[in-house]
Amino acid sequence: MPDDIPSLEASRASLLRRFAQLQDMRPGSVGAVFRRCGKPNCHCARPQDPGHGPHFQLTYKKEGKTVTESLPNRDAWHKAEQEVAEFRNFEQLSQALMEVNRKICRLRPTQAAVEPWSAEEKKRLLQSIRRLRRK
């Protein structure tokens, strides 16, 4: 892919069209777990026993905590699987969009700002940067 602004902008436009086509999505992963109920007389307390299950579930992080949602049937499983896969598509598209934008930002010339910084401009910008840092 040639790295000039018009072709990069064309790639960006096509990525944005793909964003618009994204379906239902959610972060997380689907999987199966076996559980131990904790009752000492249950078969699951034996060392070779796989435990109760399999239980099919979706797990994801919310505010730093792992959340689990049960997937009680095949439809729920397939739905969650597709939503999670679509989220991975979204992440890949986001990466690609950031990459193409990074290139555009580096190549885009400044708008007619041919004058170098004046002493007054430097002073004012420095003051506003310091104000932002204090917040």
Q: Which residues bind Zn ion (CB under 5 A)?
A: 37, 42, 44
Walk across the sheet containing 65-70 and list its strands.
Answer: 29-35, 52-62, 65-70
Residue 53 CB, nearest distance to Zn ion (Å)? 10
**Is 18 or 52 the residue whose CB approaches Zn ion more closely?**
52
Distance CA 30, CA 71 (A): 9
Residue 48 CB, nearest distance to Zn ion (Å)? 14
**Is 41 or 128 the residue whose CB approaches Zn ion more closely?**
41
**Is 44 or 84 the residue whose CB approaches Zn ion more closely?**
44
Residue 106 CB, nearest distance to Zn ion (Å)? 59
Contacts 24+ apart (CB under 8 A), 14-19: 15/93, 15/96, 15/97, 15/100, 16/97, 18/93, 19/90, 19/93, 19/97
**Beta strand extents in the chain (DSSP E only):** 29-35, 52-62, 65-70
Residue 45 CB, nearest distance to Zn ion (Å)? 7
**Is 39 or 134 the residue whose CB approaches Zn ion more closely?**
39
